[in-house]
């Protein structure tokens, strides 16, 4: 999405259209070089990862790296995901209802159905690719909007950190989870 001033909005980073590592911050080769240089001096990289959802109904659906899709049909060919990989469309109206919070769309963003092994595999493939590129761990965006057992399965499918970047053998990635809690909800 491009704003009237020609800029892309900050929140676009939280509405993926693909899992390609091509953003306005750089491409995959530049990311790998950054992790190499940072790890060489003891600076660890943690990726802010969006695993809960893809975009909302944006038209045209064109990512910063050129990936396209038909968001209204929940069709993201660069992953690929299609409508069968998402929960049925519904809005969260009760944040105390764990089924709504975990199976409905957060602010209209198309909610991935992690009960499908295919969806979990696509996400863990991305996580493992980032580990290969030298990351030390992940911040899971919108974590309370996913079922804990499904998140656990994805976390258990991650490989150990890449020893080429100075990590000890068999070191697991550090994972921290974004859970917005103002003391008002049961989840």
Which residue among the candidates 12, 178, 181, 184 is catalytic per the annotation? 178
| 184 labelled catalytic | no
Which residue among the candidates 28, 132, 141, 143 is catalytic per the annotation? 141
Cis before 80? omega within 30: yes
Q: Which helix (H) or strand (E) holds 18?
A: none
In this structure, how many other beta carbons lie within 10 angstroms of the beta carbon of residue 138?
Answer: 21
Percent helix, strand and coil across the chain, each rounded to 5?
35, 15, 50
Using only C-alpha atoms, what is the Rg of the chain? 17
| 141 labelled catalytic | yes
Active-site residue list: 141, 178
């Amino acid at each position: 999405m491009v704003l009237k001033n020609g800029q892309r909005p900050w929140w676009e980073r939280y509405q993926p259209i693909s899992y390609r590592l091509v953003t306005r911050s750089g491409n995959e080769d530049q990311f790998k070089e950054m992790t190499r240089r940072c790890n060489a001096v003891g600076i660890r990289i943690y990726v802010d990862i969006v695993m809960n959802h893809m975009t909302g109904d944006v038209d045209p659906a064109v990512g910063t790296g050129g990936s396209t899709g038909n968001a209204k049909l929940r069709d993201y060919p660069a992953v690929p995901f299609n409508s069968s990989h998402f929960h049925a469309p519904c809005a969260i109206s009760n944040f105390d209802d764990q089924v709504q919070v975990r199976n409905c769309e957060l602010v209209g963003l198309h909610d991935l159905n992690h009960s499908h092994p295919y969806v979990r595999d696509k996400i863990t493939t991305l996580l493992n690719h980032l580990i290969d590129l030298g990351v030390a761990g992940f911040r899971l965006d919108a974590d309370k909007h996913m079922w804990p057992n499904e998140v656990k399965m994805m976390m258990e499918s991650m490989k150990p950190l890449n020893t080429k970047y100075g990590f000890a053998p068999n070191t697991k990635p550090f994972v921290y989870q974004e859970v917005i809690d103002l003391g008002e909800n049961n989840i």
